[in-house]
């Protein structure tokens, strides 16, 4: 998948990444789409609860909703140590999966526990084999090459308003932020891209998702919008300056706001609208 004019490592997919707080009681448009991508009644879904401190409660909630939406089999799995993530028995669980879903919580727990383990390798193999990978909130944020781990929302962007760490990198060339409009996170995504203009910033609202195809495009699904911040066009930033000015200067950055039906082509580096040729038949 080419992102932002670069050629990062091959990416599998599809992926379905949610900004958090998705509908679990009504029409469940987003989670229903995940079940469909996983195979519907033939789906075997593994729910990874590593990010949450309430694994039993959260895992059971997703097990029930996925079964109600028609999945054939749903298995919550909680890995809370690198020892467990390095156990062949746990990695083998993914061999039968047609869908793998990461719950919300703390994205640093995902990377700290799963990063560079046998389980992460099995996850990469599954993705490259066409297994759909989903995640909500922290589970979405952890999928990118770079991961936002903290920062102030709802304020003017400063040079130090965002904290970052390496993500799992299942989708290379991107940084993903969640609960985007609801928590006023445009400032910290702009700061993340200013520091890393080689990656594409993607901010996903609550009850909203991007569905990423293996050929390098995504469609927007849900009730909110997705904000894309493209740093290729930046003409000036003081992000790395030693100047005492604490506020971020950023000129020439390109920003797109995309509701349901719109999408983005990573290879072309451009959004597309409903009814355009690019929006048809992603899967």
Active site residues: 137, 179, 206
CA distance 199 to 209: 19
Pairing of strands 132-136, 15-18: parallel
Own/partner contacts of 27-31, CB < 8 Å, gap of 24 or more, are: 28/65, 28/69, 29/221, 29/222, 30/207, 30/208, 30/209, 30/221, 30/222, 31/65, 31/66, 31/69
- Check: CB of residue 248 under 8 Å from CB of residue 236: no
User: Does a cis peptide bond (omega within 30 degrees of 0) precede residue 14?
Assistant: yes
Give every strand in the sheet of 99-102, ordered side by side: 73-77, 44-48, 99-102, 132-136, 15-18, 208-212, 217-222, 263-265, 270-272
- Hey, what are 94's tokens? 């993914």
Q: What are phi and psi of 61, to 5 degrees?
A: -60, -45
CA distance 247 to 256: 23
> Where does residue 216 fall: left (phi above 0), alpha (psi -120 to 50 degrees), or beta otherwise?
left
- Check: CB of residue 105 under 8 Å from CB of residue 52: yes
- Check: CB of residue 177 under 8 Å from CB of residue 140: no
């Amino acid at each position: 998948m080419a992102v932002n004019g670069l050629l990062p490592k091959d990416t599998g997919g599809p992926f379905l990444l949610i900004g958090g707080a998705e509908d679990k009681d009504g029409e469940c448009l987003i989670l229903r789409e995940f079940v469909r991508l996983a195979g519907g009644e033939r789906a075997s879904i593994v729910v990874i609860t590593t990010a949450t401190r309430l694994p039993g409660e959260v895992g059971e909630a997703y097990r029930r909703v996925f079964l109600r939406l028609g999945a054939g089999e749903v298995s919550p799995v909680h890995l809370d140590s690198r020892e467990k993530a390095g156990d062949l028995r746990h990695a083998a669980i993914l061999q039968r999966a047609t869908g793998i879903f990461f719950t919300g919580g703390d994205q640093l727990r995902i990377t700290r526990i799963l990063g560079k383990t046998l389980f992460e390798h099995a996850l990469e193999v599954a993705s490259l084999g066409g297994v759909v990978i989903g995640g909500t909130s922290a589970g979405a944020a952890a999928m990118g090459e770079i991961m936002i781990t903290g920062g102030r929302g709802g304020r003017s962007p400063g040079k130090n308003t965002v904290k970052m760490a390496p993500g799992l990198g299942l989708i290379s060339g991107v940084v993903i932020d969640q609960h985007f409009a609801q928590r006023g996170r445009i400032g910290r995504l702009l700061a993340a891209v200013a520091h890393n203009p080689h990656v594409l910033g993607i901010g996903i609202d609550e009850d909203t998702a991007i569905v990423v195809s293996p050929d390098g495009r995504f469609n927007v699904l849900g009730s909110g919008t997705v904000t894309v911040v493209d740093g290729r066009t930046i003409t000036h930033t003081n992000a790395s300056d030693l100047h005492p000015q604490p506020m971020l200067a950023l000129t020439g950055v390109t920003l797109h706001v995309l509701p349901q039906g719109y999408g983005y082509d990573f290879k072309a580096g451009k959004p597309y609208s409903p009814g355009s040729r690019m929006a048809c038949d992603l899967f």
